[in-house]
Structure 1
Amino acid sequence: MTRVVDVVVIGGGQSGLAAGYHLRRLGLECAVLDARPAPGGAWRQTWDSLRLFSPAAFSSLPGRLMPPQPGETYPDAAHVVTYLTDYEQRYELPVHRPVRVAGVHRADELLRVDTDSGVWLARAVISATGTWSSPFVPAVPGRAAFRGTQLHTVGYTSPRDVSGRKVIVVGGGNSGAQIAADLAYDTDLTWVTPREPRYLADDIDGRALFDHATARRRALDEGRTDTGGVASLGDIVAVPSVRDARDAGLLRAQPMFDRITPGGIARADGTTAEADVIIWCTGFRPALSHLAPLGLRGPRGRIPTSGTRALGEPRLHLLGYGDWTGPASATLIGVGRPAREAAREIAGLLGVV
């Protein structure tokens, strides 16, 4: 079965929904293809204690404010799933699920999107698959010989799964700090970071981070000095759970290890630590394998872009993969602006506006 639309959006999480919203407002016929069986994107697969960095009103997609969660300043993942489900229904976004995209190919004047449920032909494509489905684990010597359990951030749920065990959490970013804080009370925890943890000031939340990222992008666009972006402020947002564990003296980071042993970790200086579980909070890579047939990847695996538009294929836009596809575009509050710009550029390309 082959279907034809103006735009295919690949991914039905927050970025795909924001794209669908702006495309529909411009009168473009689109189809949003989502591999997941239900709304909510990656928010359905987070650990239980995860909270947003910002209050609900500052964590909203275009067109509709996220309502506050009763009793919570910073909403949890379940609240986000409810919001995204309502958003999709309120704007009657044409989401098709579960649909897995196998590849995007050039087909003369159209792009062909091959899926497990048929073929879509489109005049343009927006890839909004994010990073959650592409976890990264570094190649540390001895990792394959470890006798215990290894998890990535995507596989961690709650302290009850590892309670009373010796756990090593690897990673000095937000997920590493939050999961370490989660486990600090119920496990024999070792938190390992590549460098000394850098906490942002306690009064900084997602609102300030978005403003800082936007200011940096404006400075770069105007040829002014690079402000360094969010990374210049620190690596870890001190959300309440992290702040409480830190202030209680429970978050003491140890330096990175050199190799993994069957029963734990070891460093070149001879120090070791035993472990039953290693949790890798070591980040993600953009999930772009479906775009491989287009042959667009450049250095470090990224597809070179101008804004959200792929330089090697003007009918393709990438949305929500981080600052390289728009300031803070991997966040709820940040994806709206690049989604609007992508939709407008596509409308211009197709002669709609």
Structure 2
Amino acid sequence: MASHSHSSPGQSTQAIYKTNIVVIGAGQAGLSSAYHLSKLGVPAGKGFVVLDQSPRPGGAWQHRWPSLTLSTVNRIHDLPGMRFADTIADGDTTVQASVAVPHYFEAYERAFDLQVYRPVKVVVICDRVDRFRVETDRGLFSAQGIINATGTWETPYIPEYPGAQRFQGTQLHTKDYRSADAFLGKHVVIVGAGISAIQLLDEISRVTTTTWVTRRPPAFREGSFTEEDGRAAVAMVEDRVRRGLPPASVVSVTGLPLTPAITAMQARGVLNRQPMFSEITEQGVRWADGHTVNADVILWCTGFRSSLDHLLPLMLREPNGGIVMAGRLATQVAKDPRIHLVGYGPSASTIGANRAGRSAASELKQHLGL
């Protein structure tokens, strides 16, 4: 599959490439933002550039585990202007998400000539009063505004627990998972109560023994999930970021849908949830009451954090680690309206990223007077 990519305009020289807006990241949020900038009359090149650190299209989807197919993935929402289903041959749901979505993203970039520069990693962004200096591993850029759409995949989160360093087994994160067969003959402690934790517990428990551990009892939701439910969940996350609190995941608000797969797991006795252990030992984990479980693997399905380290010099965070967000859909950084974070907080879902991309593009164009 050929990659619709462009060499970085500044890669062979230290000359600074000037543009109006730099979009960082070419996943769902970045492509949506670029599409709407283009539709608003902001030209690719001098008007905006998209920088993506991956060598090919697909965002984080290209790194997902092979068993995640279109029949098992939660849902893939259409990007604006092109249906995902139109890029899938005969509606085949057995195709891997890590293949189908990159194919869709590549077709999308071509169809709308979004001119994504890759692989280009943004190292740091500094404020130069009236413009931003964007330093990358392939050259320097100067921009009036930033749309940051770097997502979370590059920042896996593993909580600290006493004894983690002395564990003699293997510790992995969801990001590292490839196949359940790698755990044959091993006892696996799976930590987490999100959709990924449930999916991996289902797969791994079919080939070996498991212990499922969560910090809070998982909330399973019966019945259909309505649009009204979705809006209410997003509103709760949005309220947090508008107050400058670290964002919570939408799933933590909505609960987990009681799907046929989960019902089958209950019937198999797999969903025997244990409370969180208090420490990690050389051979496994120990709870506060003293009982232990020996383990060969601890698989942390504990989520991700927003990948924002390149923005540190801009001092956007509050003391609690959050960022006060503003704007119509809470994509605008209150401290600096020249910066929009798309895919942060309420726009972290794929459908939220689409709407937020449109809002960010419109608000930033107006603020900069383009």
Q: Which residue of 1 aligns with 2:30?
A: 16
* CA distance 1:208–1:186, shift in 2 (3 Å): farther
* CA distance 1:177–1:217, shift in 2 (3 Å): closer
Kindly state the Cα deviation for residue 214 of structure 1 after the two structures are TM-superposed: 5.2
- 1:84-137 deviation line (CA, Å, top 9, x unaligned): 221122111121111111111112311111101111111111111111111111
* CA distance 1:240–1:41, shift in 2 (3 Å): farther
State the TM-score, normalized to the length of structure 2: 0.84
Is 1:317 the equivalent of 2:340? yes
Write out aligned runs for 1:156-171 (5 A). Answer: 156-171=177-192
Structure 1 unaligned regions, length at least 5: 221-227, 324-328
Query: How many residues are aligned here?
Result: 335
Kindly state the Cα deviation for residue 286 of structure 1 after the two structures are TM-superposed: 1.0
Amino acid at match of 2:157: F
Is 1:112 the equivalent of 2:133? yes
Write out aligned runs for 1:1-353 (5 A). Answer: 1-28=15-42, 29-50=47-68, 51-54=72-75, 59-67=77-85, 69=88, 70-72=91-93, 76-201=97-222, 203-204=224-225, 210-213=230-233, 231-234=252-255, 236-306=256-326, 307-323=330-346, 329-352=347-370
Kindly state the Cα deviation for residue 73 of structure 1 after the two structures are TM-superposed: 9.3
Checking the alignment, whether the CA contact within 8 Å between 2:64 and 2:97 is kept in structure 1 is no
Amino acid at match of 2:262: V
Checking the alignment, whether the CA contact within 8 Å between 1:184 and 1:245 is kept in structure 2 is no
Q: Which residue of 1 aligns with 2:11?
A: none
Amino acid at match of 1:274: N
Aligned equivalents of 2:239 and 2:289: distance in 1? 44
Q: Which residue of 2 aligns with 1:326?
A: none
- 1:43-85 deviation line (CA, Å, top 9, x unaligned): 111122333323x5xx111111210753439983432222122
Amino acid at match of 2:61: W
Aligned equivalents of 1:319 and 1:144: distance in 2? 36
Structure 1 stretches of 4+ with a deviation exceeding 3 A read 73-77, 202-205, 207-220, 228-233, 237-243
Aligned equivalents of 1:259 and 1:283: distance in 2? 20
- 1:259-300 deviation line (CA, Å, top 9, x unaligned): 000110011212111111100011111111000111111143
* CA distance 1:166–1:300, shift in 2 (3 Å): same
Kindly state the Cα deviation for residue 230 of structure 1 after the two structures are TM-superposed: 5.7
Aligned equivalents of 2:239 and 2:170: distance in 1? 45
Amino acid at match of 1:261: T
* CA distance 1:245–1:233, shift in 2 (3 Å): same
* CA distance 1:238–1:86, shift in 2 (3 Å): farther
Kindly state the Cα deviation for residue 7 of structure 1 after the two structures are TM-superposed: 0.6
* CA distance 1:330–1:243, shift in 2 (3 Å): farther
Aligned equivalents of 2:35 and 2:353: distance in 1? 12
* CA distance 1:23–1:108, shift in 2 (3 Å): same
The residue matched to 2:30 in structure 1 has which SS?
helix
Amino acid at match of 1:304: V
Kindly state the Cα deviation for residue 200 of structure 1 after the two structures are TM-superposed: 2.0
The residue matched to 1:333 in structure 2 has which SS?
helix
Amino acid at match of 1:2: I
Aligned equivalents of 1:210 and 1:90: distance in 2? 30
Checking the alignment, whether the CA contact within 8 Å between 2:28 and 2:354 is kept in structure 1 is no
Structure 2 unaligned regions, length at least 5: 1-14, 241-248
* CA distance 1:43–1:202, shift in 2 (3 Å): farther
Checking the alignment, whether the CA contact within 8 Å between 2:35 and 2:112 is kept in structure 1 is yes
Kindly state the Cα deviation for residue 11 of structure 1 after the two structures are TM-superposed: 1.0
Give % identity: 40
